[in-house]
Amino acid sequence: MRASLLLGDGTFVSGLAHGTPSERIAELVFNTAMSGYEEVLSDPSYAGQFVLFTASHIGNTGITEFDLESKIMAAEAFLCKDFSVIADNHRSRKGLETFLRDSGKCAVSGIDTRMLALKLRSLGCLKAILSTEDHDPESLRGKLEASGDISSKDLVSQMRSFSYHRPRMSGSQTEGLRFTSQFASAGRAKFRIVAIDCGMKRGIVDDLEACGLEVHCVGPNASLLEIEAIRPDGLFISNGPGCPKQLAGSTRILQLIRELSARMPAFGICLGHQLIALAYGGDTQKLSFGHHAVNHPVKSMVALAGIPAGTVMMTSQNHNYHVVEESISECFEVTHRHMNDSTVAGMMHRSKPVFSVQFHPECNPGPQDAKSLFGIFVNMLEEKRHAGQN
């Protein structure tokens, strides 16, 4: 089966199709991680996007299911150089081809992915159409042009229902791997938090729970009353797909963040970070081609939770938007900075327990250098409780 791809700039390529025959329009982004395609494809933040993997071989380890970040394949489709015909890993439950079919999605391989990545690097993210039926560039161009602005789609509400709780790992799933977090608590949860789920990665829930938190998920449209009824100790705002301003415009989420973060510790990751910035009067902008990688260096600008200022971490990143530094409210301090382009990678309120990071401390995929940042949120919850008791 053949698949053809037409980019917004007129670039046309075709290759070998895999999965379910389909035709889709989405934004094309590239990810440079060399491992973790299972996590990437199921990361709800990739909703509405075609993911181009720069790594040569995809599918080698099949799908373990345990490593999925949501119930489904969130990305619209993916592109790679070589699609593995077999899955070879002791934890693998099914092949990538089966996963694609089960998800009703497709992939294309055998194309010059590096050429496309270089194009995206210089032109920025491009809208694209991928089809397993239509191989006529002109006809595809017509469809692509007629599709209008895809960034206006309400991706978040689509995505949030896909969050899921991971099955317990069997013996063969865990052998050789240690998942226990340094914050793992025995017994009852210490704190109850509300997570505004905009398409939250499973790994975040895992890490929050591993810190001894009881996580209650609500949608971005949740009301204040609804949340208050849970009587949370803290607020978490998740990652998610699309433009933060779009989400802010279609929901009352900013007001929710403002009201709740005034009363309780708040922590945001990725989209959550952008929403906190917006809630406090900041601005976000689209990056040319985003950060989609697991090798981006982030520097700590201030000492936090025992990590000295100047510490450099290898981080997992996945975002097309960033918080404009000049726009950030005076009451925030930049705590982390991206070392390559100096964009804001983390910030903390100067007087309130509000903290957010643009990158993914839960990783999945990527290096686990930043896991300890969850501890900052826990410290905030502890301090708040301590202050309340006094």
Partner 1 sequence: MPVRTDIRKILVIGSGPIQIGQGCEFDYSGTQACLALKDLGFEVSLVNSNPATIMTDSSTAHRVYIEPLTVECLAEVLERERPDALLPTVGGQVALNLFLELEEQGHLARLGIRTLGVSSKTVILTEDRRAFRNLLEELGLEVIRGDVAHSAESAYEIANTLNYPLVVRTSFTLGGAGGGVVANPEQLAMLVDRVFKQNKNAQMVIEESIAGWKEYELEVMRDAAGTFVVVCGVENVNPMGVHTGDSITCAPCMTLTDREYQHLRNTAKQIFEKVGMETGGANIQFAVHPQTGRMIVVEMNPRVSRSSALVSKATGYPIARLAAQIAAGLTLAELKNEITQSTSAAFEPSIDYVVVKIPRWDFAKYKGASDELGVQMKSVGEVLAFGRTFRDAFQKAWRSLELGYEGWPDLGQTPEFLAALRAADPYARSTAEPLNKDTILNALGAPTPALFPALKSAMQCGFEIDELHERTGISHWFLSQLAQLVELEQRLAHPEFADSDLIKAKQDGFTQKGVAALSGLPVGEINLRTERLGLKPTFKMVDSCAGEFEAHTPYYYKTFEQQDENIPSSARKVVILGSGPNRIGQGVEFDYSCVHAVRAAQDAGYEVILINCNPETVSTDHLVSDKLFIEPLNCEDVIDILKSENPDGVFVQFGGQSPLKLAKNILDAGFKILGTPQEVIDLAEDRHAFGGFISRYGYKVPAWATGSGFGECLAKAESIGYPLLVRPSYVLGGRAMKIVRSESELKSSLAEAIDASQGHPILLDKYLERAIEFDVDLVCDGQDVYIPAVMEHIEEAGIHSGDSTSIIPYLKAPLHLDSPIRELCKGLALNLGVRGLLNVQLAYHEGELYVLEVNPRSSRSVPFVSKATAVPLAWLGARVALGAKLSDLLKTTNFTATTAPKYAVKAPVFPFHKFPGVSPNLGPEMRSIGEVMGTAPTAGEALAKAYIAAGWKLVPQGDILVLAESAQLEQMAEALGVMVHKLGCRVYCIEDCRQALAGLKTSLIELRQDDQVRSFALTAMRSGRMTMVISAGTQMSRKWRQLAAEIGALTTQCAVPFIESEFALDAWVMALRSRAGKEIQ
The Cα 7–Cα 146 span in angstroms is 14
Supply the minimum distance, in Å, between the C-beta of residue 234 and partner 1: 27
For partner 1 (CB under 8 A), the number of binding residues is 59
Question: Which is catalytic among the residues 27, 270, 291, 349?
Answer: 270
In degrees and rounded to multiples of 5, residue 122 shows phi and psi of: -90, -30
Cis peptide before 365 (omega within 30 of 0): yes
CB closer to partner 1 out of 119 and 245: 119
Distances (CA, A) of 83 to 42, 43, 253: 17, 20, 40
The Cα 10–Cα 62 span in angstroms is 33
Q: Does position 114 bind partner 1 by CB under 8 A?
A: yes
Q: Does position 13 bind partner 1 by CB under 8 A?
A: yes
Task: Name residue 211's amino acid.
Answer: C
Angle at 129 between CA 125 and CA 134, to 5 degrees: 160
Q: Does position 9 bind partner 1 by CB under 8 A?
A: no
The Cα 313–Cα 201 span in angstroms is 21
Q: Are 169 and 44 in contact (CB under 8 A)?
A: no
CB closer to partner 1 out of 223 and 295: 295
Residues 347-376 that bind partner 1 (CB under 8 A): 363-369
Is 214 noted as a catalytic residue in this protein? no
Q: Does position 113 bind partner 1 by CB under 8 A?
A: yes
Q: Which of 17, 29, 76, 91 binds partner 1 (CB under 8 A)?
A: 91
Task: Find the part of the chain contacting partner 1 (CB under 8 A) among 205-213, 218-226, 250-258, 289-297.
Answer: 289-297
Q: Which of 10, 35, 249, 262 binds partner 1 (CB under 8 A)?
A: 35
The Cα 254–Cα 150 span in angstroms is 23
CB closer to partner 1 out of 261 and 358: 358
What tokens does 194 get?
A: 């509300």
Q: Does position 124 bind partner 1 by CB under 8 A?
A: no
Supply the minimum distance, in Å, between the C-beta of residue 299 and partner 1: 6
Is 360 noted as a catalytic residue in this protein? yes
Q: Coil, helix or strand for 87?
A: coil
Q: Which of 246, 311, 329, 379 binds partner 1 (CB under 8 A)?
A: 311
The Cα 47–Cα 74 span in angstroms is 5
Burial of 27 (0-12, 13-18, 19+ CB in 10 A): buried
Q: Does position 74 bind partner 1 by CB under 8 A?
A: no
Residues 248-277 that bind partner 1 (CB under 8 A): none
Q: Are 96 and 22 in contact (CB under 8 A)?
A: no
Q: Does position 228 bind partner 1 by CB under 8 A?
A: no
Is 270 noted as a catalytic residue in this protein? yes
Q: Which of 1, 9, 112, 229 binds partner 1 (CB under 8 A)?
A: 112
Q: Are 366 and 36 in contact (CB under 8 A)?
A: yes
Q: Does position 67 bind partner 1 by CB under 8 A?
A: yes
229 contact partners, CB below 8 Å, separation of at least 6: none
Distance of CA 305 to the CA centre of its chain: 24
Supply the minimum distance, in Å, between the C-beta of residue 254 and partner 1: 32
Supply the minimum distance, in Å, between the C-beta of residue 173 and partner 1: 8
| Of the candidates 53, 80, 241, 60, the residue with the CA atom closest to the CA atom of residue 162 | 241
The Cα 5–Cα 146 span in angstroms is 16
Q: Which of 218, 314, 324, 334 binds partner 1 (CB under 8 A)?
A: 314
Supply the minimum distance, in Å, between the C-beta of residue 324 and partner 1: 21
Length of the chain measured in residues: 390
Task: Find the part of the chain contacting partner 1 (CB under 8 A) among 20-28, 137-145, 244-252, 296-304.
Answer: 296-304
Task: Give the DSSP H/E element, type plus range, for residue 265.
Answer: none
Supply the minimum distance, in Å, between the C-beta of residue 59 and partner 1: 10
Known catalytic residues? 270, 360, 362
Q: Footprint of partner 1 on this chain (CB under 8 A)?
A: 13, 30, 32-36, 38-39, 54-57, 60-61, 64, 67, 81-82, 84-86, 88-91, 110-115, 117-118, 121, 172, 175-178, 293-297, 299, 310-312, 314, 339-340, 363-369
